[in-house]
Amino acid sequence: MIFDTHAHYDDEAFQEDRDCLLMSLKDNGIGTVINVAADMESVDTTFALSQKYPFIYAALGVHPSGTAALTENDMQHILALASEHSVKKGGKVVAIGEIGLDYYYEGNGDPERSIQRKWFERQLLLAKEASLPVIIHSREAARDTYDIMKAAGAGSIGGVVHCYSYSLEMAREFLSLGFYFGIGGVLTFKNARKLIDVVEYLPMDKILLETDCPYLAPVPNRGKRNSSLNLPYVVKAISEIKKLPEEQVMEITELNARKLFGINA
């Protein structure tokens, strides 16, 4: 079965048909989903989804774009949920995320870099406190992301660099920390040469499947609302690059996800 390690099914894009879509996943080969929070509101909605659907797990954290108004009380709220409902205690919270840095919209409403860095560091510490891996968001901020992760001892925390978009050289550095790489619809885009090279280089035991839905739908559905139902296109692309059967790609990436997030079959 396919394991989608990064989705946002609490997004308003799924407001009209969320339950119907989610209930169709299993019949279409999607066995497990991690819903990932991006702000304090979605920390609660993500947690609620994980309680409603047996096959949905939760990652709780705040995306760099949502860090401007964060408080220590917010951190304590996430820590309480993550600790009390950790998968290690039989709960559904499997990671802290998505957290990181995003310099793409700098000067256009996103928090300044110093604020993003402050809360990235704080949430890495939170992950240590909760004994959970992290889901890293990094855009136009490769070196700062890596340096903060290394300084925080992220290698001992573990996690995944979600929607990996950097060079092969940076991939080697993140790989040196033992991190996994989230691969989704971008791999099918015409301008994906750099990512194709990265996937070709990465060992299969460090690759995870993800959608980032409702965003980044693969070809042939690029520009449309994304969902886990599109992951077979990503599986096909990886299988062609790695010269492996599609079934083997699904099996290995599912095992990788279960190992990282501590989810038993």
CATH number (domain holding residue 154): 3.20.20.140
Number of domains in the chain: 1
Q: Could you say which residues of the chain have pLDDT below 50? A: none
**Burial of residue 239, with CB atoms counted within 10 A of its CB: 0-12 exposed, 13-18 middle, 19 or more buried:** middle
Instruction: Identify the pLDDT of residue 35.
Output: 99
The partner residues of 159 in beta bridges, in order of sequence, read: 134
Alpha helices in the chain (DSSP H): 18-24, 40-52, 72-84, 113-130, 142-151, 154-157, 168-176, 193-201, 231-242, 246-261
Q: What is the model's pLDDT at position 231? A: 98
- Would you say the C-alpha torsion 35, 36, 41, 44 has a positive or negative sign? positive
Q: How far is Cα 17 from Cα 167, in angstroms, rounded to an integer?
A: 37
Instruction: Give every CB contact of residue 152 below 8 A, 6+ residues apart in sequence.
Output: 121, 124, 125
pTM over 0.75: yes
Question: What integer pLDDT is reported at residue 108 of this predicted model?
Answer: 80
Position 265 scores a pLDDT of 65
What pLDDT is attached to residue 7? 99
What is the residue range of 191's domain?
A: 2-261
